[in-house]
């Protein structure tokens, strides 16, 4: 395959960026999108040019670091898939592909296609945990959880915190991410003691980080590589309202 790539280049958050065009040839249809970028970087380095910076880690759709907007869609055109799992056979020979970083005030560009997503870490630090006493773990049978509840909690826990929901939302809302973390613990007995404080703290931190609000247009669910449901946003809103009334 021969492709034309329009790639966003930017030195840091304070400098203006620009689109840069590159031609790549002999791209295997079976290679992943990141492998294609690796090959492009090898050519750039061989020519004495600066390689394109982008994030990756596991390359198995687990870590959530491969944050690329491909042809205007976070993680690319294939649903339920991260950029590292996207294969070049999804594109046609001779096509032009535009590659950009996440676009959100809360995710400032570090360099090229790399953005700072530490705002998500601070949201988790504010409440996305369960405090437990030290000592031996309880027997699993002491905390029975019904299968429908366990399944729903597991679906919420599947969120990998990639930020695609923020990149797709016109308001740069992080509510799908935050609601998944709130739901995961609100549904389980282990999360009950800190239930009200958790949702207040996490929503408060989300707002302080500069994320926008949700206007229920479901772009977040459409691009989520783990297909997290927007029903978790409704649960988070109920949790927040209950915490506000009680306290």
Closest C-alpha among 128, 39, 212 to residue 220:
212
Structural domains of the chain in order of their starting residue, each with its CATH number: 3-111 (3.10.20.30), 118-246 (1.10.1060.10)
- pLDDT at 171 (0 to 100): 96
Q: In the structure encoding, which two tokens stand for residue 43, read together? A: 């050519």
List the chain residues with pLDDT less than 70.
134, 140, 247
- pLDDT at 134 (0 to 100): 61
Q: In the structure encoding, which two tokens stand for residue 127, read together? A: 């409440």
What's the maximum distance between 2 C-alpha atoms anywhere in the chain?
64
User: What pTM, to 2 d.p., does this model score?
Assistant: 0.92
Q: ∠ CA(184), CA(149), CA(157), 5° rounding?
A: 25
- pLDDT at 130 (0 to 100): 84
Closest C-alpha among 7, 8, 36 to residue 22:
7
- pLDDT at 92 (0 to 100): 96
- pLDDT at 128 (0 to 100): 87
Strands (E), 79-231: 96-100, 109-111, 114-115
Helices 118-127 and 175-186, packing angle to 10 deg: 30
pLDDT digit string, tens, across residues 170-214: 999 999 999 999 999 999 988 998 999 999 999 999 999 999 999
- pLDDT at 140 (0 to 100): 65
d(C-alpha 121, C-alpha 142), whole Å: 31
Which run of H or E residues covers position 20? Answer: strand 18-24
Residues 140, 146, 148, 152, CA torsion sign:
negative
């Amino acid at each position: 395959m021969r492709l034309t790539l329009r790639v966003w280049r930017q030195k840091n958050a304070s400098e203006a960026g620009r689109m840069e065009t590159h031609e790549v040839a002999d791209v295997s249809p079976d290679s992943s999108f990141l492998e294609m970028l690796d090959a492009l970087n090898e050519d750039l380095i061989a020519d004495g040019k600066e390689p394109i910076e982008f994030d990756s880690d596991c390359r198995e759709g687990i870590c959530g670091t491969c944050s690329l907007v491909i042809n205007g869609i976070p993680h690319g055109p294939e649903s339920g898939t991260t950029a590292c799992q996207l294969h070049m056979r999804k594109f046609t020979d001779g096509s032009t592909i535009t590659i950009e970083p996440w676009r959100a005030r809360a995710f400032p560009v570090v360099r090229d296609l790399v953005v700072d997503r530490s705002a998500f870490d601070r949201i988790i630090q504010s409440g996305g945990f369960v405090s437990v006493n030290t000592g031996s773990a309880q027997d699993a049978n002491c905390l029975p959880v019904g299968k429908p509840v366990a399944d729903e909690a597991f679906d919420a826990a599947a969120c990998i915190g990639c930020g695609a929901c923020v990149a797709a939302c016109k308001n740069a809302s992080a509510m799908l991410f935050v609601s998944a973390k709130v739901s995961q613990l609100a549904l389980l007995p282990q999360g009950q003691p800190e239930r009200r404080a958790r949702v207040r703290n996490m929503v408060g931190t989300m707002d302080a980080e500069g994320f926008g609000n949700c206007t229920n247009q479901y772009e977040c669910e459409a691009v989520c590589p783990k297909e997290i449901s927007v029903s978790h946003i409704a649960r988070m809103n109920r949790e927040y309202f209950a915490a506000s009334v009680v306290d």
